[in-house]
Structure 1
Amino acid sequence: MTFTEDLRRENDDIFQAIFNHPFVRGLGEGELQDDAVAHYVKADYEYLNTFMQLYGTAVSQSKKREDIAFFQGQIAFVLGDEIHPHRNLCDYIGVPYEELKGFPMPPTADHYRTHMKSVATEGLLGKTIAAMLPCPWTYQEIGRELKKEFAPETNHPFYEWIEFYANDSITETTDYLLKRLDEEAEAASLEDRQLMKEAFRKSCQLEYAFWEMSYTKEDWPVAEGVLK
């Protein structure tokens, strides 16, 4: 069993919880509350800004040109392609995408960002990948699960979102990160392998928490000077 196969097995409980989360189920069923969708887009826009920065960190930690080219390409992919699922969500709620940019991150999203940046500052590419991998990996599997269960047609409200994350481009991204994490883990010490596992599981937990944050419209306890 490879290192990443072991990671998937050890964290199947979180993957299954994500598949069954009401926000994810709502994507498949084609019905979500508008304000929850807006909350998700606001937070995810800022989250993806951080993710691009982490790809930049991965570039600085890379020793092979193949890795540098891959991570640079991923920055371009997020900038140019990953806006499409956001626009699908914005079309669903009838709000221009531009109106949902530039908002403060809710607590959970901010925690997730801080976690990944903290791991990345330790300087090891394997740890950085381990912290980042749950994002594309869980989304890839969500897309596949929703496509398999609901078989959405083009008139489905979230057809474009589901198709985007079920398609080959996400698979290629995930497969490359899986391969590189297996290689980095093979060369790592037992201590660093354990730290990779811990970083990966915490990111999985925070992936689930991100969906919950969006569904409940989580905010900071004091907003606009009013104690909630």
Structure 2
Amino acid sequence: MTLRQRLWARAEPLLAQVHAHPFWTGLCDGTLPPEALWHFAEQDFRFTVPAYARALARTAAVAQRPEQGALLAGAAGATFESLDRMARELDVLAGRFDTLKPADGISPTTLAHTSFLTASSTASFAAAIGGLLPMTWFHQQVCVELRRRLVPGTRYTDWIAQYCPGDGFDGYVEAYLALVDDFAATAPEAELALLEDGFLHGALYELAFCEAAWRLQSWAETTSERNA
């Protein structure tokens, strides 16, 4: 069994939960409250995607081979460039739903997720490529399901179209997975354990992120729950 097959076996149950989550099912059929989509899109744009881009750049800097560095540095650049498009889409959402307002700041889950991305990218190359992989692989798999289950003509059709990447993204995901398998061919077991643990934690954050958007998570909500 290759490393990617082992990772997939660990990710598949979590990915099934992501696909079944009311955030994504509501996005497909148009029943998702606009505030939940706004929470997701704004947190992604302001915090998660920039942190991911920086983490990719740091990982590229410590890559063991030039082709690995080139792949990850190119992904970092493309991720930074995507922020302009994401800003335009936020403006479109705000124009369509006049009840939407900017969040006070980073949510608890987003803070934990971005801190994890930063920590992974500064720990070791193994921890980095494992911890960052779910944002790439899960995004690909979520978009496959979004396109398959989208109810045509619903109010989020345009947003889904811009959220899902073009055909070239599949090639990048395959190249990243090939990098993981290539690394695994010579890495010691301790490094592989770091990679797999990082991957599992990153995958859990993919589920937590859509749950936070669904609940409109905020620090005020978290404080209320703790004091209840």
Q: Give the TM-score, by structure 2 length.
A: 0.84
Which residue does 2:183 correspond to in 1? 184
- Higher mean C-alpha displacement, 64-73 vs 8-17: 64-73
1 CA distance for matches of 2:213 and 2:128?
A: 25
Unmatched segments (≥5 aa) in structure 1: none
Shift of 1:38: 1.8
- Report the number of matched residues: 222
Amino acid at match of 2:61: S
Distance 2:102 2:171 in 1: 28
C-alpha displacement at 1:76, in angstroms?
2.4
Other-structure match for 1:94: 95
Q: Tell me, in whole angstroms, the C-alpha distance in 1 between the residues paired with 2:103 and 2:69.
A: 29
Identity of aligned residues (%): 19
Partner in structure 2 of residue 193 of structure 1: 192
For residues 71 and 102 of structure 1, do their structure 2 counterparts lie closer, same or farther at Cα, with a shift above 3 Å needed?
Answer: farther
Q: CA deviation at 1:71?
A: 2.1
> What does residue 64 of structure 2 align with?
63
Following TM superposition, by how much is the alpha carbon of 1:82 offset from its aligned partner in structure 2, in angstroms?
A: 5.5
Q: Is the 8 A contact 2:113 2:205 kept in 1?
A: yes
CA drift at 1:70 = 2.0
CA distance in 2, matches of 1:35, 1:186: 46
What SS class does the counterpart of residue 75 from structure 1 fall into? helix
Q: Which amino acid aligns with 1:42?
A: E
1:32 is the counterpart of 2:14: no
Equivalences for 1:76-155 in 2 at 5 Å? 76-81=77-82, 83-84=84-85, 87-88=88-89, 90-94=91-95, 104-123=105-124, 125-150=125-150, 152=152
Question: Structure 1 residues 23 and 8, CA, compared in 2 at 3 Å: closer, same or farther?
Answer: same
Alpha-carbon distance change, 160 to 217 in structure 1, aligned in 2, over 3 angstroms: closer
Q: Residue deviations 1:190-214, cap 9 Å, x none?
A: 1221121111111111110000001
Cα distance 1:82–1:18, how it changes in 2: closer, same or farther (>3 A)? Answer: farther
Q: Is the 8 A contact 2:136 2:173 kept in 1?
A: yes
Unpaired stretches in structure 2, ≥5 consecutive residues: none
Alpha-carbon distance change, 178 to 213 in structure 1, aligned in 2, over 3 angstroms: same
Query: Match for residue 72 of structure 1?
Result: 73
What is the alpha-carbon root mean square deviation over aligned residues?
2.8
Partner of 1:17: 17
Give SS of 1:72's match.
Answer: helix
- Cα distance in 2 between the residues matched to 1:185 and 1:100: 46
Q: 1:171 to 1:63 in 2, by over 3 A?
A: same
Distance apart, 1:102 and its partner CA: 8.8
